[in-house]
C-alpha cells in the first residue's frame, strides 16, 4: 500500500491511507496515514454500523487536510468493539465465510474489564490525593497509594493495549488461516 | 477533533513482529523482495476539504461482481487493477482476496470501501464531490516489480484523469 500511495502522491495527488499495522506502514514509508486498533478487514469500522464508519472516515479525511509532516501517522483513539456510539448492525448481505462469535465476546469482556480498571484507577487517584491533602500519619501510606495508582495504570495498559492487540492478531491471522483450510474463503 | 500525531517509533514488540513478518514472507513466497520508499513524496491539499473531489483506492481486492476477480491462486500474487464506477450500487461489489478476513466486508463493503459513507459526507457538504471512478488492487504481491513499474503509473494517470484532489486508501 505505502509503495503505491507514495507513487500517486509523487504524481501530484494528495493521499491519505488507513492502516492497522502502523509499524509496517512506517517502515515502508507512506506520505500520510491514519491508524486505529481494529482488525485488518475493518479499517473503516464494524460492518453495518454507518455512524461508526462515518466518524472514522470523517476523521481520516480531516487528517488529510491537517497533517503537515511527510510520513505522519495519526492514531485514532478507538478500540475494536468499543466505539462510543452503540449501533445495532444492519447488514447489506450475508457472508459465505465462517465467523468466530467468541472474538466478539472476548472483545466485550476486555472492554468491560478496561472500564472497571479505569474506574478503580480513578478511585485510587482520589484516595491518594486525599492522603496528600490530609496525611494520616501512617509512614508508608502516601507511597503505597501512589504505587497502587501506577500499578492500575500498568494493568490498564495491558488490557487496553497488549491484550486487545493479541486479540486483533488472532482475528487477523488465525481466522483467515482457518477459513482457507475449510475452503470457505474466496 | 484533534490531529496531534507523533513520529512512529518502533517498540521492541513491533520490531519483533515486523522482523517475524518479513522472515515469514521471505521463506514462504518465492521471489519476494523487501522494497521500501527511498523518499516520501508530499503533495499538500491545495483547497479546503469542502471543495475537494475525493476518490477511493483499496488494496483489499474489491471489484464489481461483473468484473474479472483477482487471481488468488497464483503464488506470485496479482498486480493488475480494477476500475469501480463510484455510481455503482455497493451491493454489486465483491471481495476477492485470501490474505485478510473479509467476512465483515462481505456483509457490508463500507467497512473496507466506504462508498456509501462518502456519498453521505458529500451530501452533508464535508467534501466537494466524488470522482467518477475509484480503483482497486489485490494487495498480495510478494515481488512488487510489475505493480510499481506498470500498475502504479497507470493508477496515478487514471486518478489524475478523474479530476480527484484527494484519494482515500485502505489496505487489505
User: pLDDT tens across A167-177, in order?
Assistant: 888 887 777 77
pLDDT for the residue numbered B70: 92
Contact A53 B126 (CB under 8 A): no
Q: What is the span of the domain harbouring residue B123?
A: 49-170
Helix (H, G, I), strand (E, B) or coil at B1: coil
Identify the bridge partners of residue A7 per DSSP, sorted by sequence position: none
Cell of B93: 461489489
Contacts of B37 in chain A (CB under 8 A): 2-3, 6, 28-30
Rounded Cα distance, A12 and B106, in Å: 33
Residue A72 has pLDDT above 70, yes or no: yes
Residues A112-156 have pLDDT tens digits of 999 999 999 999 999 999 999 999 999 999 999 999 999 999 999
Measured between CA atoms, the residue of chain A closest to residue B122 is A58
Residue B98 sits at the chain A interface (C-beta within 8 Å): yes
Residue B11 has pLDDT above 80, yes or no: no
Angle (deg, nearest 10), helices A141-157 and A101-133: 160
Cell of B41: 513524496
- Alpha-carbon Rg for chain B, nearest whole angstrom, is 17
Helix (H, G, I), strand (E, B) or coil at A8: helix
For chain B, the distance separating the N- and C-terminal CA atoms, rounded to the nearest angstrom, is: 27
pLDDT cut 70: percent of chain A above it = 95
Rounded Cα distance, A79 and B151, in Å: 34
Which DSSP helix (H) or strand (E) runs through B147? none
ipTM: 0.88
B19-44 mean pLDDT:
80
Domain boundaries, chain A: 2-79, 101-182
Rounded Cα distance, A23 and A122, in Å: 32
Cell of A12: 501530484
Residue B58 has pLDDT above 70, yes or no: yes
pLDDT for the residue numbered B127: 98
B70-77 mean pLDDT:
85
A58-75 mean pLDDT:
94
Contacts of A97 in chain B (CB under 8 A): 101-103, 106
Question: For chain B, what is the domain count?
Answer: 1
Residue B138 has pLDDT above 60, yes or no: yes
Residue-averaged pLDDT of chain A: 89
pLDDT for the residue numbered A177: 77
pLDDT for the residue numbered A184: 54
A80-95 mean pLDDT:
87
Q: Which has more pLDDT, B100 or B166?
A: B166
Measured between CA atoms, the residue of chain A closest to residue B90 is A92
Taking the alpha carbons of B27, B32, B36, B41 in that order, is the dihedral positive or negative? negative
Helix (H, G, I), strand (E, B) or coil at B143: coil
pLDDT for the residue numbered B117: 98
pLDDT for the residue numbered B28: 66
Residue-averaged pLDDT of chain B: 88
**Å between B128 CA and nearest CA of chain A:** 12
Residue B29 included in any domain:
no
Contact A8 B72 (CB under 8 A): no
Amino acid at each position: 500500500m505505502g509503495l503505491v500511495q507514495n507513487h500517486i502522491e509523487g504524481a501530484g495527488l494528495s493521499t491519505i491511507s488507513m492502516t492497522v499495522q502502523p509499524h509496517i506502514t512506517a517502515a515502508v514509508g507512506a506520505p500520510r496515514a491514519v491508524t486505529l486498533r481494529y482488525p485488518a478487514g475493518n479499517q473503516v469500522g464494524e460492518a453495518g454500523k454507518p455512524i461508526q464508519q462515518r466518524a472514522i472516515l470523517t476523521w481520516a479525511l480531516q487528517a488529510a487536510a491537517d497533517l503537515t509532516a511527510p510520513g505522519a501517522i495519526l492514531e485514532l483513539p478507538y478500540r475494536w468493539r468499543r466505539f462510543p456510539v452503540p449501533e445495532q448492525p444492519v447488514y447489506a448481505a450475508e457472508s459465505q465465510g465462517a465467523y468466530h462469535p467468541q472474538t466478539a465476546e472476548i472483545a466485550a469482556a476486555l472492554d468491560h474489564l478496561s472500564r472497571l480498571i479505569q474506574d478503580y484507577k480513578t478511585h485510587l487517584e482520589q484516595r491518594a490525593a486525599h492522603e496528600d491533602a490530609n496525611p494520616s500519619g501512617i509512614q508508608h501510606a502516601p507511597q503505597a497509594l501512589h504505587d497502587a495508582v501506577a500499578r492500575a495504570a500498568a494493568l490498564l495498559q495491558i488490557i487496553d493495549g497488549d491484550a486487545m492487540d493479541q486479540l486483533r492478531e488472532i482475528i487477523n491471522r488465525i481466522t483467515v488461516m482457518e477459513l482457507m483450510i475449510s475452503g470457505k474463503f474466496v | 477533533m484533534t490531529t496531534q500525531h507523533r513520529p512512529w517509533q518502533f517498540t521492541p514488540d513491533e520490531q519483533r513482529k515486523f522482523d517475524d513478518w518479513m522472515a515469514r514472507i521471505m521463506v514462504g513466497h518465492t521471489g519476494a523482495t523487501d522494497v521500501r520508499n527511498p523518499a516520501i513524496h508530499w503533495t499538500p491539499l491545495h483547497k479546503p476539504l469542502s471543495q475537494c473531489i475525493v476518490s477511493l483506492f483499496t488494496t483489499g481486492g474489491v471489484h464489481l461482481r461483473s468484473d474479472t476477480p483477482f487471481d488468488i491462486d497464483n503464488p506470485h500474487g496479482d498486480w493488475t487493477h480494477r476500475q469501480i464506477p463510484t455510481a455503482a450500487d455497493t451491493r454489486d461489489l465483491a471481495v476477492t482476496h485470501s490474505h485478510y478476513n473479509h467476512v465483515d466486508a462481505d456483509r457490508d463493503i463500507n467497512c473496507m470501501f466506504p462508498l456509501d459513507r462518502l456519498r453521505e459526507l458529500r451530501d452533508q457538504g464535508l467534501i466537494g464531490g466524488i470522482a467518477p471512478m475509484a480503483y482497486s488492487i489485490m494487495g498480495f504481491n510478494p515481488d512488487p516489480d510489475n505493480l510499481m513499474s506498470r500498475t502504479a503509473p497507470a493508477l496515478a494517470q487514471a486518478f489524475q484523469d478523474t479530476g480527484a484532489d484527494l484519494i482515500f486508501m485502505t489496505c487489505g
